[in-house]
Each structure stands twice: as structure tokens, then as C-alpha cells.
Amino acid sequence: MTAGVSEQLAQARLGDKNAMGALVQAHQRSVYSLALRMLGTRDLAEDLTQDVFMQLNGNLNSIESAEHLAFWLRKVTTNRAIDQLRRRARIEFTSLDEAGAMFGTMDGGDPLLQRHLRLLLSQLSPPARAVMLLRYQEDLDPVDIARTLDMPVNTVKSHLKRSLEELRQKEPST
Amino acid sequence: MNEDLESRLRAALRPVAPGEAFSQELIARVTADGVSPARAAGRRRFFAPAGWLSAALAASLLLAIGVQHHLQERHQREQGMEARRQVIEALRVTSQKLHLAYVAIENQSS
């Protein structure tokens, strides 16, 4: 897979549209999901996803490897989302009917947890929200999250601890 | 307990796919020939030309205000110069009259 992505990267740098299309195809779920869960609405998520890939198109020469590509996409997406959220007075989180698209209820997820999670995400500060998503959506460890967000590892750990505690408190006892 | 919550979080936060139409549009835009970020902004709801138009209107308005201010200032300056000239002229005439009066008094007394 990594070798395939590296080959696609090399081809895309040479102007191969199919290779560029394949790179977008391979990473759009991750970028779109981060954008959607950070910004809270489908429209804003689509705009951000497009902006990120357009930016990638102009920066292909600076991408060194498949791992660097994934890192770069997460970094640009979360940083741009945080910037957008800081410019908005408060997050207008997605409507309930969009929540399914946000958390993939079609996959048979836990609807109660999803409701609490949506509420929690909407209440977290933008950096704390990004930390949660990079940890549980992208499965990054605290060191990689710290690198992605240019944040001390201890700050990442405290964000995670606090967010999990809040979520646990909001969960009804099972 | 913690691990259970974390595994449920991972399940709830699995990446979701964007809509098929958006996905195709995205790939088409990114792979289009010579696409620049400025052109790509075309799909935005907040269409960029409207922003440019507003900026151009605002700039024109500022320019008009600036020019008017400048003209008004020049007019005031010219009015000031004219008033100064008139005062000097009045002083000159008064001084002449006083001189004549002085000469007349001097002549009478001698």
C-alpha cells in the first residue's frame, strides 16, 4: 500500500491525473471526516476538503513519502479547521439529521454514545476537539498528535484525559 | 471500562465517506488542467467575485471621499489666502490714509 502510494506520489508530481485522482480517493475519507467533525456541517466540511486537496496539488513537490502525505493532510486539515473555528463566534453544530452522516450510524454504531459524543465535541475547544479526533478517528498516539498540532505532548495527554472524563460523566450509567 | 469507552469511541469515530457526487466533483477539480486555488473557489457558496465587487466599491468610495476632502481643504486654503490678501490691502490703504492725515496736520501746524 505504502509502495503504491509512493509510486502514485511520484506519478502525480509528473502530472499524472490518474495518480492524483487515486491519491485523493485514498485520503478523502480521512480529510472529509476530520473536517466534518471539526466544523460540524457538511457544507463547510466539503469546502475545507476541497481547499486542502487544492493546496496539496500545489505542494506535491514538498511531500516526501506516503507517511508524510498522511501527516501533511491531517496537519493542514486540522489547522485550517481550528483557524476557521477561531474566526467564528461559536460552533453551529450539525443538525440532528446530519448526525448520521457525521458518525456513520449506518455502520450500526451506538446511537447514545454518538449523541453524547456530538454534544461533547461541540463543547470542546477547537484544539481539544482536534486532539480527540486525531486520537480516535485517525488512531494516532499522543506523540504524533503533538507533532501534527504543534502542541506539547503533555497538553495532548491532558486534553485527552479531560475529554474522556467529561464524556464518561455525561454517559448514563450502564 | 476505559478501554471499553475508547473502543466504542473508535467505532463511533470511524471515518465516513463524503457523498458520491462531491467525491467525483472533488477529483475532477483537483485533477483538472491548470486548476489554481483561485479557480477552485468557484464552487464556494460565498462566491469570490461578490467579495471583489464589494472591495472595489469600498475602494472607490474611499477614493471619492479622499478626493473630496482634498478639494475642500484646497478651497479652504485658497479662501484663507484671499482673506489674508484683503486684510493686508486694508492695512496698506489705512496706512496710506493715516500718512496723508499726518502730512496734512504737519502742513497746518507749520
* pLDDT tens figures, A157-173: 999 999 999 888 876 65
User: In this complex, which of B8, B43, B44 lies closest to A110 when CB atoms are compared?
Assistant: B8
In angstroms, the CA A7 to CA A9 distance is 5
CB contacts of B6 in chain A (<8 Å) are 136, 164
In angstroms, the CA B13 to CA A134 distance is 10
Helices A66-87 + A126-136 axis angle, to 10: 150
What ipTM does this complex have? 0.79
Helix (H, G, I), strand (E, B) or coil at A128: helix
Judge contact between A6 and A23, C-beta under 8 A: no
Question: What is the model's pTM?
Answer: 0.67
User: In this complex, which of B9, B23, B43 lies closest to A136 when CB atoms are compared?
Assistant: B9
Per-residue confidence (pLDDT) for residue A170, from 0 to 100:
73
Per-residue confidence (pLDDT) for residue A116, from 0 to 100:
76
Does A29 contact B17 at a Cβ distance shorter than 8 Å?
Answer: yes
For chain B, the residues whose C-beta falls within 8 A of a C-beta of chain A are 2, 5-6, 8-18, 22-23, 26-27, 29-31, 35-37, 40, 43-45
Q: How far is B6 from chain A (nearest CA, A)?
A: 8
Does A17 contact B10 at a Cβ distance shorter than 8 Å?
Answer: no
pLDDT at B39 over 50: no
For chain A, the residues whose C-beta falls within 8 A of a C-beta of chain B are 17-18, 20-21, 24-25, 28-30, 32-33, 36-37, 43, 45-47, 49-51, 53-58, 101-104, 107, 109-110, 113-114, 117, 132-133, 136-137, 139, 164, 167-168, 171
pLDDT at A93 over 70: no
Q: What's the pLDDT band for B1 if we cut at 50, 70, 90?
A: low
Judge contact between A136 and B13, C-beta under 8 A: yes
Domain count, chain A: 1
Q: Which amino acid is at A106?
A: M
Interface probe for B, chosen from A14, A16, A32 (most Cβ of B below 10 Å), is A32
* pLDDT tens figures, A99-149: 555 665 544 566 777 777 777 778 889 999 999 999 999 999 999 999 999
Per-residue confidence (pLDDT) for residue A172, from 0 to 100:
60
Q: How far is A160 from chain B (nearest CA, A)?
A: 11
Judge contact between A9 and A60, C-beta under 8 A: yes
pLDDT at A92 over 70: no
Does A51 contact B23 at a Cβ distance shorter than 8 Å?
Answer: no
In angstroms, the CA A25 to CA A32 distance is 11
CB contacts of B29 in chain A (<8 Å) are 50, 54
The residues spanned by each domain of chain B are 1-43
Judge contact between B4 and A171, C-beta under 8 A: no
* Helices of type H across A14-92: 17-39, 42-58, 66-87
* Closest CA in chain B for residue A18: B31
* pLDDT tens figures, A7-62: 888 899 888 999 999 999 999 999 999 999 999 889 999 999 999 999 998 899 89
Does B18 contact A45 at a Cβ distance shorter than 8 Å?
Answer: yes
User: For residue A158, what are the contacts with CB-CB under 8 A and spacing of at least 6?
Assistant: none
In angstroms, the CA B45 to CA A61 distance is 30
CB contacts of B9 in chain A (<8 Å) are 113, 117, 132, 136, 167
In angstroms, the CA B91 to CA A38 distance is 79
Question: Which residue range is the domain that position A94 belongs to?
Answer: 2-170
* pLDDT tens figures, B13-29: 889 999 999 999 999 99
